Amino acid sequence: MMNGEVTTSYITSELAYLVLRDAFNRYQKSPTELSTNQLAELEAQARTRYELETQVLASPEANEVVVADSQVESALAEIQSYYSDEGAFQQDLRNNGINSDSLQQCLYRELRVESVLDKIGAQATTQLNEVDAKIYYYMHLEQFYQSETRTVRHILMTTQADSADKTRRAVRTRLKHIAARLHHKPSRFAAQAEKYSECVTAAEGGLIGRVPRGQLYLTLDEVLFTLEANQISKPVESPLGFHLLLCETIHPPGIMDFEEAQPRILEILAKRYRRLRQKNWLSQFQTRPTSSEELIASLMDSK
């Protein structure tokens, strides 16, 4: 994409892009809509970031980083999606001193910087273990509180107005018959789901999983959270069709067990160690104390 001498016009476009991006991220506005003070602050941050990024891209670690054209195209498409049409997109670029070619160069540069930092973060050598996870768990118990959840299975039957055996009445009647058969043997619900359900979950006995309030369609949610454990609902309609619900287990509100929280904790700690590795590596370049942290944070927030 871009090689050779970096021109003044490119640097100007890059700074304009950084200001444009940060204006949207921070204020949800175009730079032309910002106050004088807001714009001055973003311009100063853009210069600092540009200097730091330039040093990152001049490092030996950047030599083997490759950014595919498809990555640039995806990033460009994402930006275009924020605009009502192509005309509005191009007009905003012109208003901010950017054209399509320079925007692609800016995106290429940004993706290279991200790739270098990803590469550095992957070098974090701290070994995560259960002891570290338990320490984090007991020091942050409030993070692992969860409201009441319920493990639910369902049988779905869809409707078709032009099919005699798929009308709303016919489908509801069939589900009522299935519910009657299962009334005294809810343990057979999974087998009946495998046989009759039209949902992909049929392969797993109709298992939707453990859900909190508000995750399912409103009609299903309202019924599910009135059921007792092992109770089967009457046919309930949703935009998909009619369902039978089985409330398999009621999980009361409270702090989740360590075993359940451990994968999430390990992910949190791994991210923390990656960021620390990135920050330490960037400290060799930073032009002011907070610049490396700002660069990491802005890159992480943009993903």
299 vs 296 pLDDT, higher one: 296
Angle between helix 69-80 and 86-95 (nearest 10): 100
pLDDT at 127: 79
**Same structural domain, 294 and 194:** no
Asked whether residue 15 is domain-assigned, the answer is yes
Q: Are residues 220 and 279 in the same domain?
A: no
265-289 residue pLDDT tens: 999 999 999 988 998 898 888 655 5
Task: Please tell me the chain's helix, strand, coil percentages from 3-state DSSP, rounded to the nearest 5.
Answer: 60, 10, 30
**pLDDT score for 66:** 92
Instruction: Return the half-sphere exposure (C-beta side, CA atoms, 13 A cut-off) of residue 120.
Output: 23
11: confidence class by pLDDT, cuts 50, 70, 90? low
Q: Which is nearest to 209 in space by CA: 153, 279, 258?
A: 153
Are 46 and 81 in the same domain? yes
What is the rounded CA–CA span in Å between residue 258 and residue 138? 9
Taking only the tens place, the pLDDT of each residue in 43-79 is 998 998 898 899 999 999 999 899 999 999 999 999 9
Which structural domain range is residue 230 located in? 148-252
CATH for 239: 3.10.50.40
Residues 200 and 165 in one domain: yes
Residues 17 and 111 reside in one and the same domain? yes
pLDDT interval class at 293 (50, 70, 90): low
Quick check: is 244 in a domain? yes
Query: Residue 303: what pLDDT?
Result: 45
| Nearest-angstrom CA–CA distance, 220 and 60 | 56
Strands in 38-174 per DSSP E: 145-146, 149-157
Chain position carrying tokens 């909190």: 212
pLDDT one-digit tens code per residue, 201-217: 999 999 999 999 999 99
**Cα distance between residue 182 and residue 121, in whole Å:** 54
Cβ–Cβ under 8 Å, residues 147 and 201: no
- The Cα-based distances of 282 to 163, 286, 301 in angstroms read 66, 6, 17
Q: Tell me if 134 is assigned to some domain.
A: no
Whether 26 and 118 share a structural domain:
yes
Hey, which residues does 156 pair with through a beta bridge? 243
pTM to 2 decimal places = 0.65
Same domain, 19 and 120: yes
Contact by Cβ (8 Å): 155, 197: yes
The secondary structure of residue 154, as a DSSP letter, is: E
The number of distinct structural domains making up the chain is: 2
pLDDT of residue 7 exceeding 80: no
Average pLDDT, the chain: 89
pLDDT classification of 97: cutoffs 50, 70, 90: confident
Q: Does 292 lie in the same domain as 224? A: no
CATH number for the domain that contains residue 42 = 1.10.4030
On whether residue 1 sits in a domain, the answer given is: no
Query: Do residue 12 and residue 120 come from a single domain?
Result: yes
